[in-house]
Amino acid sequence: MRKQPPMKPTDERGHGFATRAIHAGEHADPATGAHNTPIYQTTTYAFDSLEAKAAALEGAPGTFVYTRGGNPTTAALEAKIAALEGAEAAVAAASGMGVIMAALRSLARSGDHIIAADNVYYWANIYLNEDAPLDGIEVSRVDITDLDAVRAAFRPNTNVLYCEFLSNPAINVANIPALAALAREHGATLVVDNTFTSPYLFRPLEHGAHLSLHSATKYISGHGDALAGVISGSAELIAPILRQVEILGSCISPFNSWLLLRGVKTLDLRMERHCSNALELARFLQQQPEVSEVRYAGLESHPGHSIARDLTGGRYGGMLSFRLHTQPGDNQADRLANNLKLCAHAVSLGDVSTLVWPHRSDVYGELVRVSVGCENIQDIIADFEQAFEGLGTRRS
């Protein structure tokens, strides 16, 4: 199994976030002098000697045997993400679910117990409700914002506390420092999905979490052109997660690693625009007669606003959701999304383009989730204005 190479002496961990996003983990290619990290589009690696082969098989830092377990382009990405998260190590996989599954499988097996938030990503929810019990893993679902409920859910066999900092799609805010204290008190590992804020806005490890993961498809990539997942933490916790990535065969392609290396360099610039646009759109939506509730952590009306403000320094990301005044069967949310012209009626999030997706669930009801992009905010608002007018419910 590959080991993470040590950070090179010129590593930028002491520099600001933007500098690390651009430079950390990367250096001129030693073979050609290429300034950008090459795409090492190879499945296997040749050895000059039996000694070199033995060292690679033992996992010597900076050596590779087969791209399922490691690749130079991917290693550069992993080093960069670790630097951005303030972590010892990181692992990339083919998707966000790739790292979620690798993490949970490395931490919980038959007879163990997981406490998980009741509002999490769709496929993580499927695993927790349907597949984990088939593996003999007990799962308790709780309102992660209710610390008393979380505390009461711990059992002697609880190994994992799993949540999202800003939940998908209800935008519930998890008090990560308080949850970290509970996890450590009970000897459990706190795993935080931080996809909605990115490491630019919030770094869970700095607040006591053990592992921080992202669907890197989203804000880390930022351009809707690469599937990937990344997870960061201590070298001790990351090593068995890497092993699970290899066992599950969920390795990331070198090309996607390169796309993420390119995308993450502008993360701070993009997130600033996402944040400012989302706050303006949220305030606009609050004033619309068709809207009954807007859920955005930057609004003072949001129940988790003060926690989010304290943990993010007053920037709340690009994700919001809202409810419409609807009657059963009127399909107002779908009609609104269908009326949009600039903003896309599409799944996923974290793209430079605004993406809108109606959600329905027994847990949070009907919500319209908006991943607010980097377009001019006046154009985004104008598109929603005409979409509302197209519903034909406004009085003159």
pLDDT at 309 (0 to 100):
97
Token output for 34: 């290429």
- DSSP code at position 315: -
Query: Can you give the residue ranges of every domain in the chain?
Result: 17-264, 268-389
| H or E element, residue 369 | strand 365-371
**In whole angstroms, what is the distance from residue 18 CA to residue 395 CA?**
48
- Bridge-based pairing of strands 158-164 and 113-117 is parallel
Is 139 within 8 Å of 128 (Cβ atoms)? yes
Per-residue pLDDT tens for 32-87? 999 999 999 999 999 999 999 999 898 888 899 999 999 999 999 999 999 999 99
Residue 195, pLDDT score? 98
Counting residues of the chain whose pLDDT is more than 90, the rounded percentage is 88
- SS3 annotation, 249-263: CCCCCHHHHHHHHHH
- 278 three-class SS: helix
Which CA distances in Å does 315 have to 224, 303, 309?
Answer: 23, 16, 7
Superfamily, domain 268-389: Aspartate Aminotransferase, domain 1 (3.90.1150.10)
Max Cα–Cα distance, the chain, nearest Å: 82
3-state helix, strand, coil split of the chain in percent (to 5) is 40, 15, 45
Q: Is the peptide bond before 177 cis (omega within 30 degrees of 0)?
A: no
Is 315 within 8 Å of 355 (Cβ atoms)?
Answer: no
Rg (CA), the chain: 22
Positions marked catalytic: 68, 121, 193, 218
Dist. CA 56–CA 314, nearest whole Å: 46
pLDDT in tens, 146-192: 999 999 999 999 999 999 999 999 999 999 999 999 999 999 999 99
Tokens 């935008």, residue? 171
- From first CA to last CA, the distance across the chain in angstroms is 68
The model's pLDDT over 293-318, given as tens digits with 9 standing for 90+, comes to 999 999 999 999 999 999 999 999 99
In terms of phi and psi (left: phi > 0; alpha: psi -120 to 50; beta: otherwise), the region of 28 is beta
Which is it for strands 344-345 and 319-324: parallel, antiparallel or unpaired? unpaired
Measured distance CA(336)–CA(326) in Å, rounded: 12
DSSP letter, residue 166: B
Lowest pLDDT segment from 104-118, 197-211, 329-343: 329-343
With beta carbons less than 8 A apart as the criterion, state whether 115 and 138 touch. Answer: no
User: 17-264 — its CATH code?
Assistant: 3.40.640.10
